[in-house]
Amino acid sequence: MSKSVVQKPKSISSRLKISTYEDGNVLTMEGAKELIGWQELPDDAEEPGQFRDLNKKKIKLTNNSTNRPLRLNLAKRYMSEMLRNKWKLNGETIVFDTDNKCQSGQHRLVGLILAEQTRQTNAEFWKRYGWDGPIGIECVVIHGIDPSPETVDTIDQGQKRSLGDVIYRDETFEKAIDAKLRQKLSNLLAGAARLVWLRCGGKKVSDAPHFPVSEALDFVKFHPGLIDSVSYIHMEEGGGGVDGLKLSKFISPAYAAGLLYLMSTSGTDPDDYRVRGVEALDMSLKPKAQEFWTVFGSGANLDSNHPIYVLKEELHKMSASSAMARDLIVGMTIKAFNAWMDDRTVSSRDIKIELVHDEKGKPKPFESPRLGGLDIEEVEKPVPHEIEVPEPVEVEAETFEIGQQVWVFEERGPQWQGAVKNLYVEDDVPKALIFHPKKKTDVVVDVTRLSAEKWQKQVN
């Protein structure tokens, strides 16, 4: 009986070509263009996967045809990191197969090209970030992997590191504490820092801008009070036992920590802060801010018109499942804090955030309460959308009036009844704005799906 023969595979060095770009031989825009197959197209060209660069030129990547789709926003994130000189060699490679097709690294290469295009528009400005000449990055490029799906589909399958993971590894909290607690505090700090960063920029949660890790770490470093706020909120939470969860029953502890910091610094002069940065921070309201969350956690001996009591009653009804809902939670908490600081009694109407509806009937906050200090006003405030309707729209089947109770027929799901709030025409199609009593919001539907009485007919 003969033994089977197993051939020894070729060594890695014989199968792959490894190129390093370092010291005086960093990868620049020209090298990145050559690697990725950067090709400018005529302005009237229509090619699969084409996009426009920062010079408004149509671009095709000829060495990228078998990669996943290019996400230009991701490339621009990398561009920002490179422009700010935050991009570092971390051992991750740029990978090409035996057909010279890029299988990993397209966003890094395009990001480098876009970064240099940006630098060239204002070379003097980018000198402050250390770029006296063309932007270049240290990297390792590998050519020669197997182009088969069995190999390529194993690339980039690792778990992405969250900001909480990075803070944990950065040892922001003492290494001596329990690992689970350290991870919990790290995640709380990540969420709190993002909220404060958003509010400092006049943004809301629903604006959802990207928070680069390098910028997040710098932000925490410049605002060490965030760490104290996280520790205080964790203490007030009281753990996860029967006597715990004092805050998280109503609001995310990360948001509570972020709001505690914003409340503590709300006496800061915004103009002075813009000039002197963290040196201008006024933390004089920190004791009052901490007292607010202590009272919130205990909830003891509060009258029914006390701002914190009313806030908790309203938060108990809410779900934080959407970005807009989280904006409402933040806004209501700020309203309650301001009323509490003024020693005012309130009703639920005083705490709730006013909503308006856009042209599609989608609700959005009309107001975004701010604390002052670091918590600056929004750049733009939403404007209520008004639909001008001279008179009710007549359709072949039935005519409806504003205020009338009607039945709505859904293609999927049960019929439901609601009040007509408005009637208008969009793209020659009669539309109605109907208040949905269960969803507590307005819904836009075609008038052809309405009936004065419940019915079973099919609608095309």
- The pLDDT tens digits for 180-222 are 888 899 999 999 999 999 999 888 888 888 888 888 888 998 9
Q: Is residue 167 domain-shared with residue 307, that is, in the same domain?
A: yes
Q: Are the C-beta atoms of 200 and 375 separated by less than 8 Å?
A: yes
158 falls within a domain: no
- The pLDDT of residue 3: 52
Residue 178 shares a structural domain with residue 286: yes
pLDDT value at 175 more than 70: no
In DSSP notation, 285-327 reads THHHHHHHHHHHHH-TT--TTSHHHHHHHHHHT----SHHHHH
Query: Does 123 map to a domain?
Result: yes
* Pick from 35-44, 121-130, 206-215: least confident: 206-215
How confident is the model at residue 428, as a pLDDT?
67
Give the 3-state secondary structure of residue 183. helix
Q: Is the pTM of this model over 0.85?
A: no
The DSSP-derived string for 390-450 is SSPPB-SS-B--TT-EEEE--SSS--EEEEEEEEEEETTEEEEEEEETTTTEEEEEEGGGE
52 falls within a domain: yes
pLDDT at site 388: 40
pLDDT in tens, 142-154: 999 999 988 888 8
- Beta-bridged to residue 434, according to DSSP, are 420, 443
Q: How confident is the model at residue 381 (pLDDT cuts 50, 70, 90)?
A: very low
Q: How many domains does the chain have?
A: 3
* CA separation for the pair 57, 326 (Å, rounded): 40
Is the same domain home to 32 and 144?
Answer: yes
143, 167: one domain = no
The last residue of a domain, from among 123, 148, 173: 148
* Whether residue 416 is found in the same domain as residue 271: no
57, pLDDT greater than 90: yes
Name the phi and psi angles at 217, rounded to 5. -65, -40
For 20, the enclosing helix (H) or strand (E) is: strand 17-21
Q: Which residues contact 219 (CB under 8 A, 6 or more apart)?
A: 193, 196, 197
CA-CA distances (angstroms) from residue 431 to 206, 255, 392, 460?
Answer: 27, 39, 10, 16
Q: What is the pLDDT of residue 177?
A: 72
What is the predicted pLDDT for the residue at 384?
A: 43
Of the candidates 84, 59, 80, 86, which has an alpha carbon nearest to the alpha carbon of residue 70? 59
In this structure, the strands spanning 405-408 and 450-451 are: antiparallel
Which residue would you say has higher pLDDT here, 167 or 423? Answer: 167
Position 387 pLDDT exceeds 50: no
Token pair in block for residue 328: 């409402």
Q: Is residue 378 part of a domain?
A: no
Q: Are residues 134 and 176 in the same domain?
A: no
Whole-number Å distance between alpha carbons of 75 and 38? 14
Domain span at 118: 13-148
Q: Residue 332: pLDDT band by 50, 70, 90 thresholds?
A: very high
Confidence of residue 395 (pLDDT cuts 50, 70, 90): very low
Tell me the β-bridge partners of 27.
137
Whether 246 is in a domain gets the answer yes
pLDDT at 336: 95
pLDDT at 391 (0 to 100) = 44
In order of 25, 66, 87, 161, the CA distances from 19 in angstroms are: 11, 22, 19, 27
116 and 208 inside one domain: no
Q: Is the pLDDT of residue 128 over 90?
A: no
Give the pLDDT of residue 130: 92
Spatial contact of 80 and 215, defined as CB atoms under 8 Å apart: no
Q: Which residue has the higher pLDDT, 234 or 400?
A: 234
The tokens describing 390, both together, are 């001279």
Distance spanning both ends of the chain, measured CA to CA = 73
* Judgement on whether residues 115 and 69 belong to the same structural domain of the protein: yes
Distances from the Cα of 302 to the Cα of 139, 290, 342, 382, angstroms: 61, 17, 16, 35
Share of the chain above pLDDT 90, in %: 47
Helices (H), 132-178: 149-152, 163-169
Residue 354: partners with Cβ closer than 8 Å, 6 or more residues away: 365, 366, 367
Same domain, yes or no, for 238 and 338? yes
Contact 276/285 with Cβ under 8 angstroms? no
Q: Are residues 411 and 337 in the same domain?
A: no
Q: Is the pLDDT of residue 86 over 80?
A: yes
pLDDT at 180: 84
Q: What percent of the chain has pLDDT over 70?
A: 89
Q: For the ranges 33-42, 240-249, 259-268, 392-401, which has the lowest average pLDDT?
A: 392-401
**Looking at the domain assignment, is residue 170 inside a domain?**
yes
Q: Distance of alpha carbon 424 from its chain centroid, rounded?
A: 34
Q: Is pLDDT above 50 for 277?
A: yes
**Lowest mean pLDDT, pick from 106-115, 141-150, 385-394:** 385-394
DSSP state of 250: T
How many other C-beta atoms lie within 10 A of the C-beta of residue 162?
13
Q: Are the C-beta atoms of residues 26 and 141 closer than 8 Å to each other?
A: no
How many whole angstroms separate alpha carbon 258 and alpha carbon 448?
48
Answer yes or no: is 255 within a domain.
Answer: yes
Shared domain for 134 and 174, answered yes or no, is no
Q: Which of 148, 181, 196 is the last residue of a domain?
A: 148
Strand partners, 96: 102, 143
Is the model's pLDDT at 383 over the cut of 60? Answer: no
Task: Say if residue 344 is in the same domain as residue 291.
Answer: yes
Query: What letter represents residue 315's amino acid?
Result: L
